[in-house]
Amino acid sequence: MRVHWPDGAVCGACVTTAARTYGTCAFCGEDRLVPGRSSAGAHICRDCAGITTKLDCDQCGREAERLRGGHCARCVLTHDLERILNPSSPPDLRIKRLITTLAAVPRPESILTWMRHPTTADLLARIDSRELHLSHPAFDALPPSRSAEHLREMLVHHHMLLSRGDPRLARFESWLDQRLTTLQPTPEIHTPIEQFARWHHLRRLRVPDTGRNMDNATRTAKQEITEATKFLTWLRTEHHTTIAHLRQAHLDAYLSEGTTTRRTIRSFIQWRHRTGIAARFTIRYRAARTTPLAASTTRLELIRTTIEADHITLSTRIAALMLLLYGIPVRRIAELTLDDITTTPPGPTVRIGTLPAPLPEPLLPLLQQHLDSHANQKTTNHESRWLFPGTRAGHHRP
């Protein structure tokens, strides 16, 4: 047990939870830290609960758990960031702003946890040494990592880096540049792959299209480029030839062995024919595998089970219910925003097409609970307008 409060012994984890609970005291009505509980289970402040444990920060005076040296998590975070990043040596206003932004999140403990990750610690150390400049080319030169992309997106979200448009397109362009660089020693592979990647995929990805799912589009482009590269490598190593001397027998042999992903080269082969680079070749389609739709009784049972499944994350249950009720793709559910939900008269609706669809009564309590928790997020993405916000700034759940 960590402490003894009027209602008994309290463990460390429960003290931490209580010391992060703010609201209106059920007894005195003040808005402040409410770590205590009344006999009825209502949240009450320290004074009304008779809690004498010191829960005030020695530096800022805020009611909070004393995390280190008598200081709250926010003050500890600010101190650690200033020590690591040295915003004044030499002076850098963007680094100062980065510190202010990170220290201002609703739950600073999450940033302290993020900073302990080895990749994050390395990034912050590079910023401190000014080896890593706050620029897109500098981030592009880093080895790919979620920590680097998370930091980059945070900087863009808070206007410390200029937006390069769709971040998924920017990541694809960076990936493509790196991939083409590795192919330069073999020009017989590099040249056709660069033509296919830039003239076909990159040109289409750069066309503004609000209806396109860029996650799927860039993933498909990467796969087609990767599989085309594997095919050209196979031609070179197994048959000592190049795409310029391709024969139907080569294609038939390649597709008769290996995994089904090899058929992804169809796009590459057909594009070369459409553009007049090569002759027509035949690649037979793979037979599609279909899955029958769930029967109505099964679907109703799944809906009932999902509504009652309290052990499953709330956002997952709501997304599953929307899939079962409306049959819309999961990617479309992930892209819903708060503006797509209407809870005012004449009735609650969700906009999933040209016309809003009514929200059924059993879904409303779960949705309202989700909306309430959305307003109380504790991450750097707490201002997001996505209905299902992700952990990275400006992104929805994947």
pLDDT in tens, 186-227: 999 999 999 999 999 999 988 876 667 788 889 999 999 999
Neighbours of 279 (CB within 10 A): 10
383 domain-assigned: no
Are residues 221 and 193 part of one domain? yes
Are residues 301 and 324 part of one domain? yes
Q: Which residue has the higher pLDDT, 235 or 91?
A: 235
The pLDDT of residue 366 is above 80 = yes
Write the DSSP string, 88-137: BTTB-HHHHHHHHHHHTSS-HHHHHHHHTSHHHHHHHHHHHTT-S-SSHH
Strand partners, 88: 91
Residue 28's pLDDT band, with cuts at 50, 70 and 90, is very high
269 domain-assigned: yes
| Predicted local confidence at residue 334, as pLDDT | 85
| Predicted local confidence at residue 69, as pLDDT | 92
- The pLDDT of 96-116, averaged and rounded, is 90
| Predicted local confidence at residue 398, as pLDDT | 54
392 domain-assigned: no
Q: Lowest mean pLDDT: which of 8-12, 65-69, 351-355?
A: 351-355
Are residues 342 and 256 part of one domain? no
Are residues 319 and 369 part of one domain? yes
Are residues 219 and 176 part of one domain? yes
Mean per-residue pLDDT of the chain = 86
382 domain-assigned: no
Phi first, then psi: what are they for 106, rounded to 5°?
-60, -35
| Predicted local confidence at residue 241, as pLDDT | 94
Among residues 274, 304, 321, which one ends one of the domains? 274
Question: How far apart are the C-alpha atoms of 2 and 16, rounded to whole Å?
Answer: 10
Are residues 229 and 203 part of one domain? yes
Question: How far apart are the C-alpha atoms of 90 and 166, rounded to whole Å?
Answer: 32
Number of folded domains in the chain? 4
Residue 394's pLDDT band, with cuts at 50, 70 and 90, is low
The pLDDT of residue 101 is above 60 = yes
Are residues 177 and 269 part of one domain? yes
**Percent of the chain surpassing pLDDT 90:** 40
Q: Is the pTM of this model over 0.75?
A: no
First-residue to last-residue Cα distance in the chain: 40
Question: How far apart are the C-alpha atoms of 37 and 6, rounded to whole Å?
Answer: 10
303 domain-assigned: yes
Residue 184's pLDDT band, with cuts at 50, 70 and 90, is very high
Are residues 139 and 105 part of one domain? yes
Question: How far apart are the C-alpha atoms of 61 and 367, rounded to whole Å?
Answer: 37
Are residues 243 and 336 part of one domain? no
397 domain-assigned: no
Rg (C-alpha) for the chain, rounded Å, is 28
| Predicted local confidence at residue 242, as pLDDT | 94
| Predicted local confidence at residue 392, as pLDDT | 64
The pLDDT of residue 233 is above 90 = yes
Residue 305's pLDDT band, with cuts at 50, 70 and 90, is confident
What is the SS3 assignment for 388?
A: coil
Question: How far apart are the C-alpha atoms of 157 and 382, rounded to whole Å?
Answer: 12
The pLDDT of residue 271 is above 90 = yes
Are residues 259 and 187 part of one domain? yes
Instruction: Residue 16: give the domain boundaries.
Output: 3-49
391 domain-assigned: no
| Predicted local confidence at residue 351, as pLDDT | 84
Write the DSSP string, 144-168: P-HHHHHHHHHHHHTTSS---S-HH
